[in-house]
Amino acid sequence: NDRAHADRVASCQFRSMSSEFVVTKRSRAVKSEEDGESSAKVLKLTRQPQTSKGTIVELTMHNFLTFDHAVFTPGPQLNVIVGPNGTGKSSIVCAICLGLGGQPRLLGRAKEIRDFVKHGKDSAYIEVKLAKPGRPLVVRRNMSSSNNNSKWSINGVEKLEKDVVREVSGLNIQLENRCQFLPQDMVVEFAKMDKYLLLEETEKAFGNEDGENLLSKHEKLKNFKKDMELATRSVRRLEVNLGDLEQQNKLLERDVRRLRSMEEFEKKLKDLKLKKLWTEYTDARNDFCESKKKKKSAEKKLKATTERHKPIEEKRKAMDTAVKRFKTSEQDKQKELSSILKKFEDEKRQFEKLENELETPRQELEERKKEEEERKENIEKLQTEISVFSKNLSELETWEMLQPRVAEKNRALRDIQQRTNEVKLEQERIGAEKQQYEDQIRRASDELKKIQNVRHQRLEKIRQRDNHTYNAIMWLQSNQHLFEQPILEPIMMTVNLKDQNYATQVEAALSNKDAMSFVAQNQKDYETFASEVRDKRNMRIYLVRAPNKRLSDYRPSTPLQALLPYGFKKMALDLIEAPEASLCYYCEYHGLHNIPIAGELDPQMIKRIVNEVRLRMFFTASSKYTVIHSRYSKNVITRNSDLMPPRFLVSSVDEERKVEAERAIQEANQSLELFNTRYTKLEEKDKALRNDDSKIRKEKSDLRQKQDSYRRAKQNLRSREERLETFENASAFNLKEEEERYRRELIEIHKRRVECVQSLVTIKKKLSEAAVSKIEASLQRHGAETNVTFLNIRFRESGLELDSAKEEVDTAKHREDRCKRVAQERLSSAQRASGGIKTPEENPELVACFEQLPDDLKDIEDEIHEYEARKEMCSGTDRRVLMEYENRERDIEQKREELDGLVKTISTKEERIKQLEDSWLPALEKLVSEVSERFKLFFAMMKCAGEVSLEKHPSDYSKYGVLIKVKFRDSESLHALNAQRQSGGERSVSTMLYLMALQEHTTCPFRVVDEINQGMDPVNERRVFDLVVKVASESGTSQYFLLTPKLLHDLKYSPSVKVNFLCNGQEMIEEMSAEKFLQ
């Protein structure tokens, strides 16, 4: 369809063996505005603007990544490179970087050069033609996959890599500057730069000023500051060291004056020590004489003690023999006494027995009299009672009269009992059923607790991994009411496995940054949650918005039935349960519904899957495979990695089990309510029956009492008649015969008592004699034992005294030997120190010297200590002291000169820092201010807001940084750009606008941005593209490369825009006419 002033694209292509590269040129179809109809399509090839120094004129790639051979001729201004994923857009970026001397690390992909050579090829080359006044600069890089090295040439002449880098740098091409060269894998990293690194990248891009760019000045300032800090620390260290040296020399001045005094001290010490030796000998000789006297005294004392100890020992042995004899006699007497005492006790008991027998006949006589009187009284009493009971019995109802009424009550009670039993049986049946439901509730509750415990375990793992996400979950649990629709927790909290055997593969499929992302179901809730958690509580969390689709909208591109022959068993989406919005997000952005899972597969089967099935990702039992298919060729790139054991999905919440447990609890509670109602009614019925039973039992009891009363009255009457007959038939009592029998028994008992008393008198006399004999034996034994105790005490005391005397003798002998040895040793020491003389009297000078010294040993030692202390104070003050003093003086002078030099250096560096800062900081502030104005303008054009500011530090130049703040919604305030606050699309927009704002202040021949529009919504993508076209179309702008997999419809283009379509495949058009294409 034609549009007014719409750009048309004509394409020309270059063919290779398996890859096609399409280069586009611009044309415009002009629409007639007079009649409103389209005029004939006229092809007008706009003349290209003149290329500037360093721009890329042509890029040739041979056997490079996906290309066999391709030539790319970009335009001098904006080049939009469009092509589906896998066609080779990023390969162009890699070729530009590596062809101009860049390192593989700048691309964020492979680390080795050999990895960029096309698979199956031995070598490759890149050739880049750069615009340069006079003759273009053609840089070629030949790469080898076998030895992983490169060869370079410039305009056909072999060069070293450093020569190429120098030539490229001379054209102000900065491949390491992210503001100039931003590959696909580094787009995300740009937004993650901190403010310090962003300042460095901005300074790199600013270009040179008077032959020196801002970055080099900044680096010099940082280095000067470090050097000055080191110099300042050196000054402080030198000042301390110098003070120490001067202080040491002051001490040496006094030491020099003490040299002579020390010689006098040494002479005095020598005399004192000699006098001490002879004095010590004299004291030792005196001690020896004294110890010899003490030894003789101790030996004399030992002899006397031994003579006193011997008789005591003999007496003690004799008395021990007597004690044993007395003990034996006492034991014999005791046995005799015990035998007599036993006989006495036996006779005494016999006498007491006869005493008791005296009372027996008398008591029997009295009892017989009493019984006769009681018999007569009982006869009279029974006759009276029989008359009364006969009268009462005639007044009572008989047993036969009461029995029918009792039988009626029994029948009523049996009926009530039967009805009560029926109620109890029903209660027991209901109770058993209630118990079953209560057990069911308990089992379901236990099951529910086990299921809920999984959530606690996962929550604890999230707390250990990311405390911000954990705190956000805890906050959300109490604040869900703030949102129109529930904010969904991270999927690792809500996902449940249907089959635990696939935990490893499912967790690997879900493991990315979105695994810890909260999911909002509408835009208002998204903004509210971000404000509450990120802004107010400063929690760094991930937040995404669910797509407006249903889970049923996502169907696998290849059904599982078609994948079964390849060994696949399940689709990842079929194995998990989670909130629908979370699953929709994973299907929309991660293709979860298109990820199959297999068991163990052999390499041949994996190769078949890669070649025959178009899968982007699949899992085996132990590996993850990522497959990239070219849309235009059969080229396939496969990556695989080993699976790690699961951390979160070790156990899962079985939602079916959870719902089943909750349903079982609910149903059981409902049934329990019904049973409780029935049970209550049965209890009321049972209570009524018990009341009736009690009433009838009471009536029956009354009847029984009447029957019992009649029976008892009849029995009482019969028993009394029988007793009366018994008493009347009993024989009468003969008092005279009983009294005569009683007198004869008493005479016989008294005879036996007299005999017993005579025997007791005889035994008691023997007992007295035996007791006296035993007491005498005991007294003899006790006296002997007392003497033995006294002798033992005397023996021990004498023994201790003897031991003490022996020990005193031994001590005296040892002391005598020691004193003798000490005296001999001290005499030898004194004679050696005195030159061999036997006594001091042999040397008159020595005697005279000793007379001037103290005679007391303690006084001598005190003076020795005093002079040694004085000598110690002068220790080290020998002839080397003066040499040491002079050497230190020279050292002090040298350090003073060094200190002066450092002070001058610090002053010079301060002046240099001031000069550098005066030339660097204003230019940097101006740059940041102008970039901020452009940045604000671009954001205002997008109906958003943004600013760029320079953060300073009062003393540390390494703490300077560039801070980017943006806001995309009116309800928000400006926030720093970071990966936690803004979405991926918002960061891409901010990154692109910052690069554009920086463009007019930087001098570089070209800029590369790879897939910056990924993640942008269509509105922002259109706005950014319009800005890019507008800025890139201005005169004097750098060459621009913008890579994207797609373009929106109805974008605005200018003549300075060159759109390059990249196609890839074996079935390509050999030749193509731009004119025919436009027609």
pLDDT at 423: 81
Residue 202 scores a pLDDT above 70: yes
Distance between CA atoms of 1058 and 1074, rounded to whole angstroms?
14
Between 334 and 594, the higher pLDDT residue:
594
What pLDDT sits at residue 195? Answer: 78
Ranked by mean pLDDT, the top range of 118-122, 203-207, 340-344 is: 118-122
Tell me if 107 sits within 8 A of 65, measured CB to CB.
no
Is pLDDT above 90 for 125?
Answer: yes
User: What's the pLDDT band for 10 if we cut at 50, 70, 90?
Assistant: very low
Task: Return the pLDDT at 36.
Answer: 36
pLDDT (0 to 100) of residue 1070: 61
pLDDT for 475 equals 94
| pLDDT at residue 186 tops 70 | no
For 1029-1078, give the secondary structure using H, E and C: HHHHCCCCCCEEEEEECCCCCCCCCCCCEEEEECCCCCCCCCCCCHHHHH
Name the pairing type of β-strands 1006-1010 and 1039-1044: parallel
Mean pLDDT of the 1025-1051 span: 79
pLDDT digits (tens, 9 = 90+) for 208-220: 544 467 777 888 8
Residue 827 near residue 286 (C-beta atoms within 8 A): no
For 143-157, 259-273, 569-583, 674-688, which range has the lowest pLDDT when averaged over its residues? Answer: 259-273
| Cα–Cα distance measured from residue 65 to residue 89, given in angstroms and rounded to the nearest whole number | 11
Say which range, 392-396, 511-515, 576-580, 708-712, has the weakest mean pLDDT. Answer: 392-396
Judge whether residue 559 has pLDDT over 80. yes
Q: For residues 534 and 542, what is the distance between their CA atoms, to the nearest angstrom?
A: 10
Q: How far is CA 878 from the centre of its chain?
A: 65
As a whole-number percent, the residues of the chain with pLDDT over 90 amount to 8
Tell me: pLDDT of 378 over 80.
no
Answer whether residue 95 shows pLDDT above 80. Answer: yes
Q: What is the DSSP string of 45-101?
A: -PPPPPPPTT-EEEEEEEEETTEEEEEE---SSEEEEE--TTSSHHHHHHHHHHHTT
Q: Is the model's pLDDT at 933 over the cut of 60? A: yes
- pLDDT recorded at residue 358: 66
Q: What is the pLDDT of residue 25?
A: 32
Quote the pLDDT of residue 479. Answer: 93
pLDDT of residue 7: 33
Stronger pLDDT, 17 or 777, i.e. the higher one: 777
In this prediction, residues 573-600 reach a mean pLDDT of 91
* pLDDT for residue 597: 93
243, exposed or middle or buried, with CB in 10 Å at 0-12, 13-18, 19+?
exposed
Residue 1063 pLDDT > 80, yes or no? no
Is residue 626 scored above 50 in pLDDT? yes
- Please compute the mean of the pLDDT values over residues 185-206 and round it to a whole number: 69
> Does residue 206 carry a pLDDT above 60?
yes
Q: How crowded is residue 919: how many other Cβ atoms within 10 Å of its Cβ?
A: 15
pLDDT of residue 518: 94
Q: What is residue 5's predicted lDDT score, i.e. its pLDDT?
A: 30
Q: Is the pTM of this model over 0.85?
A: no
Q: What is the pLDDT of residues 964-996, one digit of tens each?
A: 888 888 777 888 777 677 777 777 777 777 777
The band of 31, judged by pLDDT with boundaries at 50, 70 and 90, is very low
Give the pLDDT band (50/70/90) at residue 811.
confident
Between 359 and 825, the higher pLDDT residue: 825
**Strand, coil or helix: 588:** helix
The mean pLDDT value for 928-939 works out to 82
19-28, 738-747, 761-770, 801-810: least confident range: 19-28
For residue range 726-779, list pLDDT tens digits in order.
766 665 555 666 667 767 777 777 777 777 777 777 877 777 777 777 787 777
**For residues 492 and 561, is the Cβ–Cβ distance under 8 A?**
no
Q: Which distant-in-sequence residues (6+ apart) come within 8 Å of 999 by Cβ?
A: 1007, 1031, 1037, 1038
Q: Which amino acid is at 429?
A: R
Task: Inform me whether the pLDDT recorded for 797 exceeds 50.
Answer: yes
pLDDT tens across 461-475, in order?
A: 888 888 999 999 999
Supply the pLDDT for residue 1. Answer: 31
Q: What pairs with residue 125 in β-bridges?
A: 62, 142
Q: Which of 23-32, 546-555, 635-644 has the lowest mean pLDDT?
A: 23-32
pLDDT at 723: 74
pLDDT at 449 over 60: yes
Strand-pair partners of 964 = 948
Q: What is the dihedral of CA 912, 914, 917, 919, to 10 degrees?
A: -80
- Phi-psi bin for 836: left (phi > 0), alpha (psi -120 to 50), beta? left
**How far apart are alpha carbons 128 and 142 in whole angstroms?**
12
pLDDT in tens, 415-441: 888 888 888 888 788 878 778 877 778
pLDDT at 689 over 50: yes
As a whole number of angstroms, the distance between CA 53 and CA 177 comes to 19
The size of the chain, in residues, is 1079
| Angle formed at CA 682 by CA 681 and CA 688, multiple of 5 degrees | 95
